[in-house]
């Protein structure tokens, strides 16, 4: 049996994860936290690298990630005010 997942569904899942990560970053920043972890399930149709790259681009590098580890979670860091990292 062949299972087919549409490109449109994978793109929607990717955008949802990006939005959720940015929302989490905003919530953490409001509480004064400087980092948080986000779980990326395997087989999601996108890579951790793609997710990190998109988050960094959309947040203008104020939210960035530690080097990718083999686990399913990514540690995101929130830059201090008026500083850009990544």
- Whether residue 63 is contained in a domain is answered as yes
Closest to 17 (Cα-Cα) out of 45, 27, 7, 30? 45
- Whether residue 26 is contained in a domain is answered as yes
Residue 71: its pLDDT value, please? 76
- Whether residue 11 is contained in a domain is answered as yes
- Whether residue 86 is contained in a domain is answered as no
Domain of residue 17: give its range: 7-78
Number of domains in the chain: 1
- Enter the pTM of the model: 0.83
Please check whether residue 41 is in contact with residue 1, taking contact to mean a CB–CB distance below 8 angstroms. Answer: no
- Per-residue confidence of the chain (86 residues) as pLDDT tens digits? 777 778 888 899 999 999 999 999 999 999 999 999 998 877 777 888 999 999 999 999 999 997 777 777 899 999 887 655 55
Residue 33: its pLDDT value, please? 93
- Whether residue 1 is contained in a domain is answered as no
Residue 23 CB contacts under 8 Å (≥ 6 apart), including other chains: none
- Whether residue 2 is contained in a domain is answered as no
Residue 84: its pLDDT value, please? 54
- Whether residue 84 is contained in a domain is answered as no
């Amino acid at each position: 049996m062949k299972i087919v997942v549409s490109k449109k569904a994978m793109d929607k899942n990717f955008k949802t994860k990006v939005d959720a990560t940015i929302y989490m970053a905003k919530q953490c920043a409001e509480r004064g936290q400087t980092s948080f972890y986000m779980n990326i399930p395997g087989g999601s149709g996108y890579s951790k690298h793609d997710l990190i790259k998109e988050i960094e681009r959309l947040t203008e590098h104020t939210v960035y990630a530690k080097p990718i580890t083999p686990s399913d979670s990514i540690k995101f860091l929130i830059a201090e005010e008026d500083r850009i990292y990544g």
